């Protein structure tokens, strides 16, 4: 589909209120629509436009009015109502210095321009990990959302001033671990506030290949980690784009930015986090996941109840009540924001469940000091409601069952016990399933026969392009595509391994994209490369798998597009390695007592388990564990040690003795040396 856009008409310096919901406004014939605020009930949407675009939009017949005629002049009038970047840093140091017994100041990372990303910890024993429920509070993902700095700084001030005198605040500090990051995006804030570039939204990373600055940090998380390609990083939506100059540019890779990577590392290293509240402006709403789809999240009722407990305590500066709203209900979807990742990662990947909300504070753009006093106090009421609920959150939400290990040695007797290790204690499994395979092989998939070794949506075998033979795997290139092709079975990475394939692509440059990714659990994927534009023919790709040696991994190809232009597409061929298991036996699907006793005949097996709970259904299969079930053959082999010059005995996986040297023939062998038995894979 081709769409004609109006010409660019200068820098946006007008806030225009269009009386239509955001999804309708996003469809206006301006490729880059910068939404700065919206009505929670969908009556209006505020957008940043140039003076020339005001006339164009009015010419389309939409009712509108100018809210701020000159953004820069408005900003100059309210400038003294806010702290500068250096004042924020100085005040944080002052807070920590004045309250050393209940605070600790840490730097999480350094930005591209050398500024620290600072977190202030507030708790009664700030240098001790007591395992108390933790809450993360962030401000200013987006540079121009100045009120979020004052809101989060007011929270700090309120907690520190009230400790020891206010019973509720004292209880919060004594029994919770509260972390506040007022400036997630200090470079952007400096550029927007200190240097007077009021409308700047992104961070300040420079991309010389595009001649542009910045990534929208709230589109740079990994996505929902729920295996739905629609919710993954850089899937285009009305609120997300791959175009580098756009205000909602997702960035080259998930967590590619110093700021979001700092949040990722912090969240992953604090399993006691039960909530993350991310402050933005403006609208007067508390948003809860999912943000990428209007479909409900697994814990939708709880998410709404907790969001509503915050919203019900607050009114805007115009005395309108806040609303609790699932994010797409504001009028458009967005992918890879903070809430979707923090919540999704916790229930599907890490196993330590938490809730995550966005508070869109205020009802106007950069209010002045007379309004800020009301705004920060009202938002404290909402935060206090969340902090009161924090101790019980983890008892109300369950993670999907994830099994890290079956705790099996390489060699087991014919009858043995299986006792899985869960990733976390917050899964409450009700039953388990156990299966095994008897053979594992690895090959190259040339797409000539079938797609039997893949799970896929939106990919097919195609004869329109092929590197070798007559077929390749192709993504269906339609508007609004979110296609994936993931290997059916995990692959065990060996030293020196690489993922290789051939690809041919012609993709709308910097708007649509394809990705090759790797994951240890089939949920949280690491991007190896992003493709856009034209390959100019078939090209070979190779990626070292060294970071995953000894681990089972999944490979995934993903293709995404926006709603405007299609091209010839994305094709892959001759993919290696592609694993295949055979001889599947499902042992039991209703295991309720552990350890579980299993009896096998002699041989090599690849065992997996998964768990079930009512809240999340069946979890994913655990990484395969390779075992050799042995009768007496290996034990008797110890007698043969004197017969071999190597002073060891080697057996095939079927128990047959092959001598003292490890054969060069591909297969699994067991080597007996003294009282030790080790397994060797010859490839």
Mean pLDDT by 10 residues, the chain (683 residues): 40 88 76 79 86 84 88 85 97 98 98 99 97 98 98 98 98 99 99 96 98 98 96 94 96 98 99 99 96 97 98 96 93 94 98 98 90 97 99 98 96 96 98 97 97 98 96 97 97 97 98 98 97 98 98 98 93 98 97 97 97 98 95 44 54 74 79 67 70
Q: Is the dihedral of CA 443, 518, 667, 441 positive or negative?
A: negative
Phi first, then psi: what are they for 327, rounded to 5°?
-50, -45
Q: Supply the angle between the helices 167-175 and 369-396 in degrees, to the nearest 10.
A: 50
- C-alpha to C-alpha distance for 597 and 639, rounded to whole angstroms: 30
State residue 9's pLDDT score. Answer: 47
Residue 339 corresponds to which tokens in the numbers above?
């809430």
* 647 Ramachandran zone, left/alpha/beta (phi>0; psi -120 to 50): left
Q: Which residues pair with 198 in a beta bridge?
A: none
Which helix (DSSP H) or strand (DSSP E) does residue 98 occupy?
Answer: helix 85-98
- C-alpha to C-alpha distance for 270 and 264, rounded to whole angstroms: 10
State residue 634's pLDDT score. Answer: 43
- C-alpha to C-alpha distance for 531 and 371, rounded to whole angstroms: 47
- Which residues neighbour 192 within 8 Å (Cβ) at sequence distance 6 or greater? 143, 144, 146, 198, 199, 200
State residue 664's pLDDT score. Answer: 79
Please report, in angstroms and rounded to a whole number, the separation of the first and last CA atoms in the chain.
49
- C-alpha to C-alpha distance for 557 and 573, rounded to whole angstroms: 11
Residue (of 168, 102, 178) closest to 135 by Cα position: 178
Residue 589 corresponds to which tokens in the numbers above?
């699907």
- C-alpha to C-alpha distance for 64 and 47, rounded to whole angstroms: 10
State residue 59's pLDDT score. Answer: 82
Helices (runs of H) and strands (runs of E) counted in the chain: 12, 41
CB atoms within 10 A of CB 125: 13
- C-alpha to C-alpha distance for 393 and 302, rounded to whole angstroms: 9
**CB 591 within 8 Å of CB 420:** no
- C-alpha to C-alpha distance for 582 and 191, rounded to whole angstroms: 58
- C-alpha to C-alpha distance for 680 and 676, rounded to whole angstroms: 13
State residue 643's pLDDT score. Answer: 41
- C-alpha to C-alpha distance for 460 and 447, rounded to whole angstroms: 9
What is the maximum span of the chain, computed from C-alpha positions, in angstroms? Answer: 95
Give per-residue burial for 69-87: e unless 16+ CB within 10 Å, then b: eebeebbeebbebbbebee
Residue 626 corresponds to which tokens in the numbers above?
């390779």
Count Cβ atoms within 10 A of the Cβ of residue 2 and give its class: 0-12 exposed, 13-18 middle, 19 or more buried.
exposed
Residue (of 240, 289, 292) closest to 561 by Cα position: 240
Q: How far is C-alpha 364 from the geometric centre of its chain's CA atoms? A: 30
Phi first, then psi: what are they for 104, rounded to 5°?
-145, 135
- C-alpha to C-alpha distance for 591 and 423, rounded to whole angstroms: 18
């Amino acid at each position: 589909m081709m769409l004609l856009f109006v010409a660019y008409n200068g820098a946006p310096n007008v806030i225009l209120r269009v009386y239509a919901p955001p999804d309708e406004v996003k469809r206006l014939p301006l490729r880059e629509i910068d939404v700065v605020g919206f009505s929670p009930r969908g009556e209006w949407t505020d957008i940043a436009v140039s003076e020339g675009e005001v006339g164009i939009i009015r010419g389309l017949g939409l009712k509108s009015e100018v809210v701020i005629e000159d953004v820069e002049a408005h900003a100059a009038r309210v400038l003294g109502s806010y702290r500068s970047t250096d004042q924020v840093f100085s005040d944080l140091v002052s807070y920590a210095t004045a309250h050393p017994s209940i605070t600790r100041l840490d730097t999480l990372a350094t930005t591209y321009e050398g500024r620290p990303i600072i977190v202030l910890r507030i708790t009664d024993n700030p240098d001790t990990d007591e395992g108390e429920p933790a809450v993360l509070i962030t401000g200013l993902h987006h540079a121009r959302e100045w009120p979020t700095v004052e809101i989060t700084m007011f929270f700090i001030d309120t907690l520190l001033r009230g400790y020891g005198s206010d019973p509720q605040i004292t209880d919060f500090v004594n029994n919770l671990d509260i972390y506040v990051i007022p400036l997630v995006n200090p470079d952007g804030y400096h550029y927007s506030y200190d240097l007077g570039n009021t409308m700047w939204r992104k961070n300040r990373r420079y991309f010389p290949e595009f001649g542009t600055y910045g990534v929208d940090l709230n589109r740079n998380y990994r996505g929902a980690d729920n295996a739905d390609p629609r919710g993954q990083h850089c899937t285009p939506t009305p609120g997300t784009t791959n175009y580098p100059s756009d205000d909602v540019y997702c960035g080259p890779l998930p967590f590619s930015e110093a700021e979001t990577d700092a949040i990722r590392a912090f969240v992953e290293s604090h399993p006691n986090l039960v909530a993350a509240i991310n402050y933005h402006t403006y609208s007067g709403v508390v948003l809860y996941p999912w943000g990428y789809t209007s479909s409900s999240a697994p814990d939708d009722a709880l998410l709404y109840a907790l969001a509503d407990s915050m919203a019900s305590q607050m009114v805007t500066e115009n005395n309108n009540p806040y609303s609790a709203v699932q994010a797409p209900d504001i009028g458009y979807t967005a992918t890879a924001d903070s809430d979707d990742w923090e919540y999704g990662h916790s229930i599907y990947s890490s196993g330590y469940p938490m809730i995550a909300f966005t508070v869109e504070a205020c009802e106007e753009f950069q209010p002045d000091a007379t309004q800020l006093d009301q705004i920060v106090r009202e938002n404290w009421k909402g935060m206090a409601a969340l902090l009161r609920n924090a101790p019980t959150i983890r008892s109300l939400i369950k993670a999907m069952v994830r099994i890290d290990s079956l705790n099996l040695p390489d060699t087991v007797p014919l009858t043995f016990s299986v006792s899985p290790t869960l990733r976390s204690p917050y899964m409450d499994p009700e039953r388990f399933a156990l299966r095994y395979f008897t053979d594992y092989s690895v090959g190259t998939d040339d797409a000539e026969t079938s797609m039997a070794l893949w799970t896929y949506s939106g990919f097919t075998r195609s004869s329109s392009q092929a590197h070798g033979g007559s077929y390749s795997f192709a993504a269906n290139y339609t508007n609004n595509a979110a296609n994936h092709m993931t290997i059916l079975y995990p692959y065990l990475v060996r030293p020196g391994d690489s993922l290789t394939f051939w690809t041919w692509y012609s993709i709308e440059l910097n708007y649509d994209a394809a990705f090759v990714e790797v994951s240890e659990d089939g949920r949280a994927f690491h991007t190896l490369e992003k493709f856009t534009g034209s390959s100019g023919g078939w090209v070979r790709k190779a990626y070292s798998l060294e970071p995953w040696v000894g681990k089972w991994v999944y490979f995934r190809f993903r293709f995404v597009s926006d709603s405007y232009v299609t091209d010839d597409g994305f094709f892959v061929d001759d993919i290696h390695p592609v694993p295949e298991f055979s001889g599947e036996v499902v042992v039991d699907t209703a295991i309720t007592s552990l350890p579980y006793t299993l009896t096998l005949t002699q041989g090599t097996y690849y065992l997996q388990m998964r768990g079930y709970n009512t809240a999340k259904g069946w979890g994913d299969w655990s990484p395969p564990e390779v075992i050799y079930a042995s009768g007496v053959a290996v034990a008797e082999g110890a007698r043969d040690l004197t017969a071999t010059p190597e002073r060891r005995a080697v057996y095939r996986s079927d128990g047959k003795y092959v001598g003292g040297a490890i054969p060069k023939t591909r297969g699994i062998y067991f080597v007996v040396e003294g009282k030790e038995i080790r397994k060797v894979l010859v490839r």
